[in-house]
Amino acid sequence: MPVVSGAGSVSRGVQREDPVFKLSIAMSAFTRSIPDRCFAAFLSILLMIPAGWGLYTYFTIDHSDDDPDWIVRLFVHVGMDVVGVAFLLSVLGLIWAVFAPAWLSRLAQRTREHFVLGLAAFLGVILLMLAILFLI
């Protein structure tokens, strides 16, 4: 039986079977309720403390006599990038826990869908490159 939605369009009431929709259903257990927001704030603060300490110590220590080896510098640089991203995510998680606007859940669902499509495209490019490599 068709169901009429608000804009006059008719939907068939068929549940979507794509994996992104199932992922969004599984991820929707984390809601905008007060306990979930407090839990998100607690986890954000828990992550913010060591990441902030790591960034503070990295930027306050004198690095003039560090090891000049390029691979060590690369590992330190990548490691501090990871710590910086963790700190940024903890700040954004705390902002979400405090404000939690309604549009954020819609944006997160759209971002997950595009992320899955991007991963599929990346996998396709890698498979195409491997196919070309083995055919040449």
In a domain, 90, yes or no: yes
Q: Structurally, how many domains does the chain consist of?
A: 1
DSSP state of 16: P
Which parts of the chain fold into alpha helices (H)? 19-27, 34-60, 70-99, 102-135
Q: Tell me how far apart the alpha carbons of residues 76 and 27 are, in angstroms, rounded to a whole number.
A: 34
In a domain, 27, yes or no: no
Q: Tell me how far apart the alpha carbons of residues 117 and 121 are, in angstroms, rounded to a whole number.
A: 6
pLDDT of residue 4: 53
* pTM for this entry: 0.54
In a domain, 37, yes or no: yes
In a domain, 8, yes or no: no
pLDDT of residue 134: 87
pLDDT digits (tens, 9 = 90+) for 42-98: 999 999 999 999 999 999 988 778 777 888 888 888 999 999 999 999 998 888 888
Enclosing domain of residue 77? 33-99
